[in-house]
Amino acid sequence: MMPTIEIVGAGPAGLAAALTIARRGGRAIVFERATEIGHRFQGDFEGIENWTTEGDVLEELASLGIAATFEHTPFRECVFYDPQGREHVCRSAQPLFYLVRRGPGPGTLDQGLKEQALNAGVEFRFATAQKHLPQGGIVAHGPQRADAIAAGYIFETDSAICAFSVTSDHLAPKGYSYLLVCRGKGTIASCLFNDFHNERTYVERTVEFFREKTGVVMKNPRRFGGFANLFAPYSARKGNILYAGEAAGFQDALFGFGMRYALLSGHFAARALLEGSPETYDSLWRKRFGSLMKLAVVNRAIYERLGDSGYARLVCLIGRAPDARDWMRRYFGQGWLKKLFYPLARRQFSGRTNLLFACVEGCDCTLCRCKLAADCHLQE
């Protein structure tokens, strides 16, 4: 008889796990502390990266039984600005990334996955903050500390479809800012890896920058924001409990493209439990993306030392590459020398404090709003 497997969290990791279990004949029960799916997001655009593998990400997901039944738009072109505001157009033959929307609304990645899960027979328990899984199961409750935040605005606009990014410590310290527009909707954000308490300043500078460069007009702008944790775990298992997605620390430490890891790890965790061998989970995820995660940690350590002149050289190189996707896969994925530096780079992350608890009372920065939302749900 196929087992019943409980899953905590209905984000991409939890939903991918549930889908895998249900499609293979098991019973999947998903506990979600919010009353609906995708509550951590507000309709903002995110990109599913497509540059870390030669094959296409959507084909990889389809091969695992996760269909792209959500709105998704391939981007083969992206404009990068360097800190001096010079434009570098990056192109690739295959999509660099797929643009998706996040949140509870129709057409989002979260709703698309939920509908597939319901059709496959997954059971949901909403408004249930599960703290224990005595029989074992999958914990996919998202990030637990803040190493990076993304904050900005979602809005309506008449601008044409576009993807712009700028690397500058003046707009997003140690990170990057972006403007994404598709089908009359837009997202502008600063993705900060430092100085979180001044997010308002960085967001307003970012808005000003893109207004001046692209002429974008934001109609009905609404603030949004969220946080991510960026550690690379040694193991994502405690006995029969398997951690997936950001709950396990599966994130892209370089730029925060964590969705792909979330979906893959959810699938692997489900497979390991279905096969009655939870101990195989660590080897499954390590084989598929363990190396990539380590390289991303080293790349982040390097990136944080570049400063504005280094960012300028980097975007210039991407812009000059005949195919930006190939270039990024090779440059960010280069092997053994970077791996030697991994233990050193990793130490940087473990030494960071958890800023989620460092603000003053009444503060409404992204960290405090995320923490407040989490606390409210836990008290319900």
Ligand X SMILES: Cc1cc2nc3c(=O)[nH]c(=O)nc-3n(C[C@H](O)[C@H](O)[C@H](O)COP(=O)(O)OP(=O)(O)OC[C@H]3O[C@@H](n4cnc5c(N)ncnc54)[C@H](O)[C@@H]3O)c2cc1C
- Residues binding ligand X (CB under 6 A): 8-14, 31-34, 39-40, 46-49, 129-131, 140-142, 150, 226-228, 245-247, 251, 256-260, 262
Q: Between residues 195 and 341, which has the closer beta carbon with respect to ligand X?
A: 195
For the record, the structure tokens of 266 come out as 């959810």
For the record, the structure tokens of 273 come out as 């439990």
Q: Between residues 316 and 359, which has the closer beta carbon with respect to ligand X?
A: 359
To the nearest whole angstrom, how small is the minimum distance from the Cβ of residue 260 to ligand X?
6
Return the number of other C-beta atoms located less than 10 Å from residue 235's C-beta.
12
To the nearest whole angstrom, how small is the minimum distance from the Cβ of residue 231 to ligand X?
13
46 three-state secondary structure: strand
Q: Between residues 309 and 354, which has the closer beta carbon with respect to ligand X?
A: 354
Question: Got the DSSP string for 91-140?
Answer: E-SS-SEEEEE-SSSTTSHHHHHHHHHHHHT-EEETT------TT-EEE-
To the nearest whole angstrom, how small is the minimum distance from the Cβ of residue 140 to ligand X?
5
Rounded CA gap, 335 and 226, in Å? 31
Q: Between residues 13 and 22, which has the closer beta carbon with respect to ligand X?
A: 13
Residue 190 φ/ψ, nearest 5 degrees: -105, 130
Rounded CA gap, 370 and 34, in Å? 13
Rounded CA gap, 111 and 280, in Å? 30
Task: Name which of 245, 242, 81 is nearest 172 in CA terms.
Answer: 81
For the record, the structure tokens of 22 come out as 């249900």
Rounded CA gap, 373 and 370, in Å? 5
Sheet holding 237-238, edge to edge: 123-125, 27-31, 4-8, 137-139, 241-243, 237-238
Q: Between residues 95 and 226, which has the closer beta carbon with respect to ligand X?
A: 226
Q: Between residues 126 and 342, which has the closer beta carbon with respect to ligand X?
A: 126
Q: Between residues 129 and 316, which has the closer beta carbon with respect to ligand X?
A: 129
Q: Between residues 132 and 305, which has the closer beta carbon with respect to ligand X?
A: 132
360 three-state secondary structure: coil
